[in-house]
C-alpha cells in the first residue's frame, strides 16, 4: 500500500524542505531559453528542469495546460517527465484545477490512481460546482494514497468577487476551507455539519506524521489572511513567490506557524535556465530563504 500523500509530503519536507517549483513551459519562457514553441521545445525544457531539480526539491508542479497545447505529443512529454521526477524522489503535484460532477470528476481524479500511466502524487482541483462535486476525487485520493489541493483563497485581483460571497455567515472561501478540514477530520462524513474551526484550534499545525492528504490553495500575495485555517489538518499550497511579488516575509505575515505551508516558486527559478547549475542555485536560494 502507498503511504498517504500527507505522510509522504511530511517526509519530503523533512528531508528536502518545503519548496515547490512549478514547471510552466509557456511560450515566452521557451523563447527565453532559446527553445522552439513546440512539443520538442517543451520536452527539452521539461527534461532540463527535472534533471536539475527532481533530486533535491520536495515538490514539482507541472501546469498541464502548457502540455495540452501540443495535444497527444505534449501529454506524452508530461507523462515521461512525471515518471522521471517521481523516480528521482520528487513528489509531483499536477496543476490541473479540474472541477466537475459525477463520473467526469472521477475521471479527472484518475491521475491519482496507482495504475494510471501518468500517475501523480496530488493535483489541484476547483470547488465551484459545490463541495459534494469533489467527493469522487476524495474517494480516489483515499483509495490510492493521493492528495488534493482545493482552490480556496486565491490572490488574483478579482478573486474576491466569488470567494468573499457569503453562504450564511461564512464566505465561500471559508466554506471551502471548512470542507477540506472535514476531509482531514477522522470520522467526518459527507452530510455531517462542517467541523467548527474553533474546536480544532489546538490541533498540530506543522508537518508531521498526522499531516492530512487534503489541502487548500491560498495565495502568498494576499494583503490579509481572511480565512480561518485553524485545525485544517492538511497542507496549504501558497503560490505567488518571486515574480508575482510574494516574499518569505509574506508567508510569515500570513501564516506564521499556523499551517503546514508549501510555498511555490515558478518564474524566479525557471528564469535561471536553461543551465542546470543555475536552476539548482536559484532553487537553493529560495530553499535557504525559507529555512531561515
pLDDT reported for residue 159? 87
pLDDT reported for residue 138? 97
Q: What is the pLDDT along the chain (292 residues), one digit of tens a residue?
A: 589 999 999 999 999 999 999 999 999 999 999 999 999 999 999 999 999 999 999 999 999 999 999 999 999 999 999 999 999 999 999 999 999 999 999 999 999 999 999 999 999 999 999 988 999 999 999 999 999 999 999 988 898 899 999 999 999 999 999 999 999 988 776 667 766 655 544 444 579 888 999 999 999 999 999 999 999 999 999 999 998 889 999 999 999 877 899 999 999 999 999 999 999 999 999 999 999 8
Distance CA 127, CA 81 (A): 28
Distance CA 68, CA 159 (A): 25
Task: Give the count of beta carbons closer than 10 Å to the beta carbon of residue 204.
Answer: 12
Query: What does the block give as the cell for 78?
Result: 508530461
Query: What does the block give as the cell for 145?
Result: 494514497
Query: What does the block give as the cell for 19?
Result: 519548496
| Domain of residue 222, residue span | 5-291
CA max distance for the chain: 54
pLDDT reported for residue 95? 98
Q: Are 247 and 241 in contact (CB under 8 A)?
A: yes
Angle at alpha carbon of residue 251, lines to 245 and 254, rounded to 5° = 105
Helix (H) or strand (E) holding 20: strand 20-23
Using alpha carbons, list the distances in angstroms from residue 241 to 37, 248, 279: 26, 8, 16
> Which CATH number is 196's domain given?
3.20.20.70
Catalytic, 61? Answer no
- Ranges of H-type helices in the chain: 5-16, 27-32, 39-53, 65-68, 71-87, 102-108, 135-144, 160-163, 172-184, 248-255, 267-270, 276-291
pTM (whole model) above 0.75 = yes
180: Cβ contacts below 8 Å, ≥ 6 apart: 150, 152, 214, 215, 216, 232, 234
Using alpha carbons, list the distances in angstroms from residue 18 to 12, 132, 208: 8, 30, 12
Q: Are 147 and 141 in contact (CB under 8 A)?
A: yes
Q: Are 279 and 53 in contact (CB under 8 A)?
A: yes
Instruction: Say which of 69, 86, 97, 253 is annotated catalytic.
Output: 97
Q: How many structural domains does the chain have?
A: 1
pLDDT reported for residue 1? 58
Amino acid at each position: 500500500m502507498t503511504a498517504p500523500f500527507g505522510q509522504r509530503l511530511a517526509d519530503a519536507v523533512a528531508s528536502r524542505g518545503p519548496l515547490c517549483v512549478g514547471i510552466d513551459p509557456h511560450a515566452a519562457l521557451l523563447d527565453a531559453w532559446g527553445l522552439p514553441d513546440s512539443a520538442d521545445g517543451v520536452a527539452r525544457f521539461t527534461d532540463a528542469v527535472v534533471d536539475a531539480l527532481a533530486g533535491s526539491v520536495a515538490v514539482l508542479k507541472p501546469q498541464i495546460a502548457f502540455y495540452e497545447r501540443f495535444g497527444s505529443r505534449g501529454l506524452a512529454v508530461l507523462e515521461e517527465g512525471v515518471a522521471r521526477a517521481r523516480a528521482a524522489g520528487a513528489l509531483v503535484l499536477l496543476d490541473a484545477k479540474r472541477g466537475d460532477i459525477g463520473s467526469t470528476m472521477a475521471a479527472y481524479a484518475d491521475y491519482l490512481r496507482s495504475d494510471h500511466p501518468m500517475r501523480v502524487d496530488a493535483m489541484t482541483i476547483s470547488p465551484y460546482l459545490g463541495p459534494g462535486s469533489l467527493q469522487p476525487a476524495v474517494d480516489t485520493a483515499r483509495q490510492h494514497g493521493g492528495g488534493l489541493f482545493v482552490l480556496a483563497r486565491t490572490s488574483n485581483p478579482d478573486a474576491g468577487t466569488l470567494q468573499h460571497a457569503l453562504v450564511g455567515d461564512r464566505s465561500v472561501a471559508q466554506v471551502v476551507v471548512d470542507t477540506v478540514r472535514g476531509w482531514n477530520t477522522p470520522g467526518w462524513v459527507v452530510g455531517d455539519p462542517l467541523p467548527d474551526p474553533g474546536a480544532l484550534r489546538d490541533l498540530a499545525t506543522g508537518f508531521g506524521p498526522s499531516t492530512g492528504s487534503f489541502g487548500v490553495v491560498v495565495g502568498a500575495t494576499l494583503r490579509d489572511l481572511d480565512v480561518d485555517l485553524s485545525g485544517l489538518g492538511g497542507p496549504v499550497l501558497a503560490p505567488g513567490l518571486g515574480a508575482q511579488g510574494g516574499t518569505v516575509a509574506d508567508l510569515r505575515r500570513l501564516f506564521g506557524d499556523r499551517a503546514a505551508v508549501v510555498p511555490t516558486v515558478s518564474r524566479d527559478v525557471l528564469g535561471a535556465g536553461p543551465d542546470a547549475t543555475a536552476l539548482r542555485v536559484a532553487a537553493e536560494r529560495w530553499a535557504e530563504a525559507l529555512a531561515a
